[in-house]
């Protein structure tokens, strides 16, 4: 998904589980309806990622669009209830 060789990219990106996935998976066009399956698939990749915490921190700091650190932009917004902000992971 991300290219660590781009100028300014944090080193942890090279270790992301998303590197071997189609980048489109992490940028669904909606967070409801049929797109929920895509969101779920992206979060499953994040759930097995060794750098999930770094990815989530990066997204919170830089206000990224898409699925980062197992969360959607809506889940990362201030004021979102804590249960909705929980990143994907083994349950």
16-32 pLDDT, tens digit each: 999 999 999 999 988 77
Sign of CA dihedral 31, 34, 36, 40: negative
**The predicted structure's pLDDT at residue 10:** 81
d(CA 39, CA 75): 12
> In terms of C-beta density within 10 A (0-12 exposed, 13-18 middle, 19 or more buried), how is residue 31 classed?
middle
Measure the CA angle with vertex 44, ends 40 and 46; round to 5°. 115
Domain ranges of the chain: 11-79
**The predicted structure's pLDDT at residue 52:** 96
Banded pLDDT at 87 (limits 50, 70, 90): low
d(CA 14, CA 77): 26
As a whole-number percent, the residues of the chain with pLDDT over 90 amount to: 64
In a 3-state reduction of DSSP, which class is residue 54?
helix
Cβ distance 74 to 68 under 8 Å?
no
Res. 79: pLDDT tops 60: yes
């Amino acid at each position: 998904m991300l290219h660590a060789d781009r100028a300014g990219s944090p080193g942890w990106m090279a270790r992301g589980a998303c590197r071997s996935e189609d980048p489109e998976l992490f940028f669904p066009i909606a967070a409801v309806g049929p797109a929920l399956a895509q969101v779920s698939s992206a979060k499953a990749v994040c759930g097995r990622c060794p750098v999930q915490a770094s990815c989530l921190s990066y997204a919170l700091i830089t206000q990224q669009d898409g699925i980062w650190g197992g969360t959607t932009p809506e889940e990362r917004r201030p004021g979102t209830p804590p249960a909705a902000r929980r990143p994907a992971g083994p349950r």
